[in-house]
Amino acid sequence: MGTFPDQVDRVLREAGWTPGRRVDAEPWLAAFEAEGLHRHPVVSDFLAEFGGLAVNISGPGISRAREPFEFDPMLCLGEGDRFLEWGEEIGKSVFPIGVHDEGRFFLGIDEYSELYLVETWVASFGRMPEAMSNLILGVQPSVVNDGQ
């Protein structure tokens, strides 16, 4: 999904990522298809490369605190309706990929590689690979829909 700046690359490698990493994403994809979500090639590729990684970061970031996150979609199980509803609201197919800030927020990705923070509102970290840098370096995501 692209190359990363040195600091981002280092954080990802410390979490167990390597370029070309591949894990079996099928169990995650199938679990959420059972909740009514539709897989798309972007989420399949993203989870195959980053699925299962837990990134334990903290401290000040560029425009917000750096907070831990985990790319384990099973931590979103039972929240399929939330992702379906927000996807309809913003006109994208948002698929769960994990949690942010120790489960305080959900993470999702759409068919255009845009990474989202999902709660009772939706914010975007941008498109991959820049989104990964924004997530790791502590860049405030842009609110897409505040649920109002």
How many Å apart are CA 56 and CA 36, to the nearest integer?
A: 31
At residue 2, the pLDDT reads 63
How many Å apart are CA 12 and CA 135, to the nearest integer?
A: 11
Residue 1 has pLDDT above 80, yes or no: no
At residue 148, the pLDDT reads 56
Place of tokens 């897409």: 144
At residue 13, the pLDDT reads 97
How many Å apart are CA 131 and CA 79, to the nearest integer?
A: 22
H-only helix segments in the chain: 6-14, 26-33, 41-50, 80-90, 130-137
Average pLDDT over residues 70-87: 95
How many Å apart are CA 59 and CA 52, to the nearest integer?
A: 23
At residue 30, the pLDDT reads 95
pTM of this prediction exceeds 0.75: yes
Mean confidence (pLDDT) of the chain: 94
For residue 147, name the pLDDT band (cuts at 50, 70, 90): low
At residue 66, the pLDDT reads 97
For residue 3, name the pLDDT band (cuts at 50, 70, 90): confident
Average pLDDT over residues 18-35: 95
DSSP 81-123: HHHHHHHHHHTS--EEEEEETTTTEEEEE-TT-EEEEESSSEE
Average pLDDT over residues 11-39: 95
